[in-house]
Amino acid sequence: MTTRPPLVPGRLDALARAVRTIIGVPDYERYLRYMSQRHAAEQPLPREQFLRLRLQDRYNRPGSRCC
Amino acid sequence: MQHRVSDRGLTSLLSPSAAARRIPGMRTVLYRIVWGIVACLGIGALAWLALSRGETINAAWLITAAVCTFAVAYRFYSKFIAARVFALDARRATPAVRLEDGRDYEPTNRWIVFGHHFAAIAGPGPLVGPTLAAQFGFLPGALWIIIGVVLGGAVQDFVILVASVRRDGRTLGQMAKDEIGPVAGFTALVAVLGIMIILISVLGLVVVNALRASPWGAVTIGLTIPIALVLGIYLRFVRPGRVLEATLLGLALLVLALYAGQWVAASPTLAPVFTLDAKTLALLVMAYSFLASVVPVWLLLAPRDYLSAFVKIGVVVALAVGIIVVLPPLEMPALTRFVDGTGPIFAGKVFPFAFITIACGAISGFHALIASGTTPKLLANETDARMVGYGGMLMEAMVGIMALIAACVLTPGVYFAINAPVALLGTTAQSAAHAISGWGFTLDPGELQRLASQVGERTLLSRTGGAPSLAVGMAHLFSGILGGHEAMALWYHFAIMFEALFILTTLDAGTRVGRFMLQDLGRHVWAPFGRVSWYPAVVLSSAIFVAMWGHFLWQGVIDPLGGINSLWPLFGISNQLLAAVALCVGTTVIIKMGKARYAWVTLAPLAWLVAVTLTAGWQKIFASSPRLGFLAHARALEAAGAVGGDVSRLIFNDRLDAAVAAFFMVAVIVILTDSARQWLLVSRGLLPAVSTEIPFEPTAIAS
């Protein structure tokens, strides 16, 4: 059972992560955590490739930007 | 305040005082009294706005009316939609939970999703539209934003968000295809491409007009491009991943750019070099967007987006603080004589054109793309959709109200001197004063010149497009808090900088998206064209897309009436067309859920939008006044008999604009007809009421 994400981030680090999510920065650390929890047997993508794929996805379709 | 919709029945059952609930307790009474007061305040403020004539009204009334109406609407109407129409269920697993992949699908705290969604939907639209619509007076715009968002815009965003959350985060286009049919799906796809073209060109025109003949603005905005490049390189090679640190560096550099612009503008040798005319600026904007579309995303688009998101939130907060601290009087009357359709900024009567001019802020179809894009993949809990979808749009409406206030703190004389085209004002302050007195307002030519030198510009006359007048209004408000008159120039260029930053971010990201859409369509004709990693195809498709919107931008630049008069209504029509598509999808979803008795929730705003879009489209094509009707304008040019390259190009552009408007109208009718057929078949029982909703699965996330 996972817990609901915390409302008030306890640490400054978590606050920074919240701000990054709001402005749309891909979160590699979270991805690593996810991979180690759910797909521990698989090799996660290296940081560079992960970021490239995430940015491509964000800027290749309408739905992330408005007038 | 945030009740879990589904929990309520349960809590009252389990609560020992369930029986006592019939006699309202102290808390319930207090609760009713508080909401009663909020509702009365809202109605009172609205009535005061609508009924008082002749005296100047304080912005506080407008803020009170908006805040109270939004609070009541959020508390009661959005809850009604959440509980009765969709029966949002906190126990139901969202796509973020079921499909979590560490990338797209991520259960996220709802405040963070709210921030993310708001940063994505808020752009230059809610700032520019209300500024332009202020030509009718503050009342039409204010009422349309307040009522339109509560019953239309926020409903659309909320409904599409919920529909998408219950369909694994599908996009609007996919939902149109799945729920309505392939014809509607394809029409929606082509319409989105058309909307992108018009949106980018009109925003490009706004930025060109804001920077025209302004060395300070041109240098400051120009410098934001190398700043973004520096950030991109910093994030890639120097300190990868340190986004916040890099963004702070970028913000410091933006402040430097502001001062650099001032320094250039004051320099007798450099100022003329950077005093650019509209045609040069238009070509530069096109070249920039083309380059942004073909270089890697990390180099330019991403760092620029981070900066812009920060500046965006900062400016919205600053504007709110400025208005609340200063509480300025609204100099603009409630209604001007231009409700009769003779307005100088754009032609057309208050119905339908006030409702076309203000799209973002009241109802914006583009939001449906966002509500069915990233946001539905982040919601940790279905019930969060109410706050993110409905609440997020209410926030954007507040931005629209603030922009309207910033436009209305200018005296009408100054407002029209900045926003009306040269063709109506002439080229001197004296001719402008004369024209404006003919409209029943007064302009002191000396005052306009004083204001221009205060904000550090050579002239403010006919700086059309909305951005300069909004910047003057904001400089007026900000300098009232900090810096006084001496700071006006810095505040003005700060406002111009952030508006241009927003717009360029929409321009470059939009060009890239448009390029991909074009490649996706083009691969059916010639397969290699669709290869997104083949450089010749990338360059070719980017060039074609830039040429498509560049044509309209160029048309706006050379238009003697100022392009806003023809392009902004086209943009409004296209955006409202997309909203109509979204509401058709929403209605179909509601009917197929077996909730046809609540279909009026989306049908009512849909009916209004269809009436507005078709009337406006019809008038823009066929009206007999050359200022309003595209075809009448072409005929007038032909009748004038002057033949030449420019005139024949103007005539061609008029006919092209008419064709674009006709295309949008046909698209509305096609999608509406296709949807109505579905609604009839389902309601007559000829078609089973089956939607593509993903069946209930219990969530693993504790709420």
The A residues from 19 to 48 touching B (CB cutoff 8 Å) are: 19-28, 30-31, 33-35, 38, 47-48
**In which band, very low, low, confident or very high, does the pLDDT at A21 lie, cut at 50, 70 and 90?**
confident
The answer as to whether B133 is a domain residue is yes
Inter-chain residue contact B309 with A1, CB threshold 8 Å? no
Burial zone of B638 (CB within 10 Å; 0-12 exposed, 13-18 middle, 19+ buried): middle
**Structural domain count of chain B:** 2
Please list, in sequence order, all residues whose beta carbon lies within 8 angstroms of the beta carbon of residue A31, skipping any fewer than 6 positions away: A44, A45, A50, B102, B103
Tell me, yes or no, whether B170 and B186 share the same domain.
Answer: yes
Inter-chain residue contact A3 with B702, CB threshold 8 Å? yes
- The boundaries of the domain holding residue B262 are 214-275
Could you say which of B108, B302, B509 has the minimum Cβ distance to residue A65? B509
Q: Report helix, strand or coil for A18.
A: helix
Tell me, yes or no, whether B242 and B200 share the same domain.
Answer: no
What is the length of chain A?
67
Tell me, yes or no, whether B557 and B663 share the same domain.
Answer: yes
Query: What is the CATH classification number for the domain harbouring B101?
Result: 1.20.1740.10
Compute the count of residue pairs across chains A and B with CB atoms less than 8 Å apart: 150
pLDDT in tens, B219-260: 999 999 999 999 999 988 898 878 889 999 999 999 999 999
CB < 8 Å to B366, chain A: 66-67
Average of per-residue pLDDT across B341-366: 93
B217: Cα separation from own chain's centroid: 23
Tell me, yes or no, whether B362 and B346 share the same domain.
Answer: yes
**Residue B204, min C-alpha distance to chain A (Å):** 12
pLDDT of res. B168: 93
**Residue B177, min C-alpha distance to chain A (Å):** 17
Tell me, yes or no, whether B553 and B521 share the same domain.
Answer: yes
Could you tell me which residues are beta bridge partners of residue B92? B698
Rounded Cα distance between B425 and B439, Å, is 11
**Residue B680, min C-alpha distance to chain A (Å):** 31
Evaluate whether B478 touches B462 at the Cβ level (below 8 Å).
no
Distances (CA, A) of B492 to A8, B123, B481, B547, B623: 36, 19, 14, 32, 38
Evaluate whether B321 touches B310 at the Cβ level (below 8 Å).
no
pLDDT of res. B440: 92
User: So what's the ipTM on this one?
Assistant: 0.84
Could you say which of A5, A54, A58 has the minimum Cβ distance to residue B108? A5
Token pair 């989306």 is found at: B602
The answer as to whether B115 is a domain residue is yes
DSSP string, B90-136: TTBPPHHHHT--SSS---B-HHHHHHHHHHHH-SSHHHHHHHHHGGG
For B695, other C-beta atoms within 10 Å of its C-beta total 6
Q: Where are the alpha helices (DSSP H) in B327-428?
A: 350-357, 366-371, 384-385, 392-408, 412-419, 422-425
Tell me, yes or no, whether B170 and B238 share the same domain.
Answer: no
Task: Give percent of chain B above pLDDT 70.
Answer: 96
CB < 8 Å to A13, chain B: none
Please list, in sequence order, all residues whose beta carbon lies within 8 angstroms of the beta carbon of residue B163, skipping any fewer than 6 positions away: B175, B372, B585, B586, B589
**In which band, very low, low, confident or very high, does the pLDDT at B11 lie, cut at 50, 70 and 90?**
very low
**Per-residue pLDDT for B218 more than 60?**
yes
Pick the residue from chain B with its C-alpha nearest to A62.
B513
B57-58 vs B329-330, strand pairing mode: antiparallel
Q: Which of B4, B106, B382 to mutate to test the interface with A (most CBs of A within 10 A)?
A: B106
The answer as to whether B15 is a domain residue is no
Evaluate whether B88 touches B163 at the Cβ level (below 8 Å).
no
* Closest among B546, B548, B545, B564 to B556, alpha carbons compared: B564
Tell me, yes or no, whether B562 and B616 share the same domain.
Answer: yes
Inter-chain residue contact A1 with B506, CB threshold 8 Å? no
Please list, in sequence order, all residues whose beta carbon lies within 8 angstroms of the beta carbon of residue A35, skipping any fewer than 6 positions away: A42, A44, B102
Evaluate whether B407 touches B470 at the Cβ level (below 8 Å).
yes
Residue type, B203: L
pLDDT in tens, B191-206: 889 989 999 999 999 9
**Residue A20, min C-alpha distance to chain B (Å):** 7
Could you tell me if A4 lies within 8 Å of chain B, comparing CB atoms? yes
**Residue A45, min C-alpha distance to chain B (Å):** 11
Question: Both tokens of residue B125?
Answer: 């639209």
Evaluate whether B44 touches B125 at the Cβ level (below 8 Å).
no
SS3 string of B390-419? HHHHHHHHHHHHHHHHHHHCCCHHHHHHHH
CB < 8 Å to A16, chain B: 244
Evaluate whether B555 touches B562 at the Cβ level (below 8 Å).
no
The answer as to whether B701 is a domain residue is no
End-to-end CA gap in chain A: 40
Could you tell me if A49 lies within 8 Å of chain B, comparing CB atoms? no
Distances (CA, A) of B396 to B11, B146, B155, B403, B438: 34, 11, 13, 11, 36
Pick the residue from chain A with its C-alpha nearest to B128.
A67
pLDDT in tens, B572-588: 999 999 999 999 999 99
* Closest among B148, B608, B581 to B352, alpha carbons compared: B608
Pick the residue from chain A with its C-alpha nearest to B301.
A59
Average of per-residue pLDDT across B327-343: 94
Token pair 């009316």 is found at: B65
Evaluate whether B357 touches B440 at the Cβ level (below 8 Å).
no
pLDDT of res. B641: 73
pLDDT of res. A5: 60
Could you tell me which residues are beta bridge partners of residue B108? B379
**Per-residue pLDDT for B150 more than 90?**
yes
Pick the residue from chain B with its C-alpha nearest to A39.
B101
Tell me, yes or no, whether B75 and B195 share the same domain.
Answer: yes
Question: Both tokens of residue B538?
Answer: 């990338």
pLDDT of res. A1: 44
CB < 8 Å to A31, chain B: 102-103
Inter-chain residue contact A63 with B297, CB threshold 8 Å? no
Tell me, yes or no, whether B428 and B315 share the same domain.
Answer: yes
Could you say which of A16, A18, A61 has the minimum Cβ distance to residue B516? A61
pLDDT of res. B703: 52
**Residue B607, min C-alpha distance to chain A (Å):** 24
**In which band, very low, low, confident or very high, does the pLDDT at B7 lie, cut at 50, 70 and 90?**
very low
- Count Cα neighbours of B32 within 13 Å in the Cβ-side half-sphere: 5
pLDDT in tens, B446-481: 989 999 999 999 889 999 999 999 999 999 999 888
**In which band, very low, low, confident or very high, does the pLDDT at B14 lie, cut at 50, 70 and 90?**
very low
Rounded Cα distance between B426 and A45, Å, is 62
CB < 8 Å to A65, chain B: 120, 123, 370, 505-506, 509-510, 513
Inter-chain residue contact A21 with B121, CB threshold 8 Å? no
Inter-chain residue contact B112 with A5, CB threshold 8 Å? yes
Backbone angle region of B169, left / alpha / beta, with phi > 0 → left and psi within -120 to 50 → alpha: left
pLDDT in tens, B170-179: 999 999 999 9
CB < 8 Å to A57, chain B: 103-104
The answer as to whether B165 is a domain residue is yes
Inter-chain residue contact A64 with B115, CB threshold 8 Å? no
CB < 8 Å to A15, chain B: none
**Per-residue pLDDT for B111 more than 70?**
yes
Over its C-alpha atoms, chain A yields an Rg (Å, rounded) of 14
Could you tell me if A1 lies within 8 Å of chain B, comparing CB atoms? yes
DSSP 8-state assignment for residue B237: I
Inter-chain residue contact A4 with B701, CB threshold 8 Å? yes
Q: Which helix (H) or strand (E) holds B655?
A: helix B645-683
Distances (CA, A) of B508 to B291, B322, B346, B500, B529: 9, 30, 27, 12, 21
**Mean pLDDT over each residue of chain B, to the nearest integer:** 90
User: Nearest 5°: CA angle at B546, between B544 and B550?
Assistant: 120
Average of per-residue pLDDT across B11-31: 63
The answer as to whether B1 is a domain residue is no
pLDDT of res. B71: 96
**In which band, very low, low, confident or very high, does the pLDDT at A63 lie, cut at 50, 70 and 90?**
low
Rounded Cα distance between B6 and B14, Å, is 14
Token pair 């909307």 is found at: B195
The answer as to whether B346 is a domain residue is yes
Evaluate whether B613 touches B191 at the Cβ level (below 8 Å).
no
pLDDT of res. A8: 54
**Per-residue pLDDT for A10 more than 70?**
no
**Per-residue pLDDT for B309 more than 90?**
no
Average of per-residue pLDDT across B659-680: 95
End-to-end CA gap in chain B: 16
Tell me, yes or no, whether B203 and B229 share the same domain.
Answer: no
The answer as to whether B320 is a domain residue is yes
CB < 8 Å to B372, chain A: 63
Q: Report helix, strand or coil for B446.
A: helix
**Per-residue pLDDT for B422 more than 60?**
yes
Tell me, yes or no, whether B241 and B294 share the same domain.
Answer: no
Inter-chain residue contact B509 with A59, CB threshold 8 Å? yes
Token pair 């290869």 is found at: B531
Torsion of CA B581, B585, B591, B596, to 10 degrees: -40
Could you tell me if A64 lies within 8 Å of chain B, comparing CB atoms? yes
Token pair 């004369």 is found at: B434
Could you say which of A50, A64, A67 has the minimum Cβ distance to residue B199? A67
Token pair 């230059």 is found at: B124
Inter-chain residue contact B305 with A23, CB threshold 8 Å? yes
What is the length of chain B?
703
pLDDT of res. A24: 83
* Closest among B178, B120, B195 to B660, alpha carbons compared: B195
**In which band, very low, low, confident or very high, does the pLDDT at B189 lie, cut at 50, 70 and 90?**
confident
Tell me, yes or no, whether B203 and B114 share the same domain.
Answer: yes
Task: Give percent of chain B above pLDDT 90.
Answer: 71
Rounded Cα distance between B669 and B104, Å, is 35
pLDDT of res. B21: 52
Backbone angle region of B54, left / alpha / beta, with phi > 0 → left and psi within -120 to 50 → alpha: left
Question: Both tokens of residue B280?
Answer: 């040069």
Average of per-residue pLDDT across B135-150: 96
**In which band, very low, low, confident or very high, does the pLDDT at B1 lie, cut at 50, 70 and 90?**
very low
CB < 8 Å to B247, chain A: 23
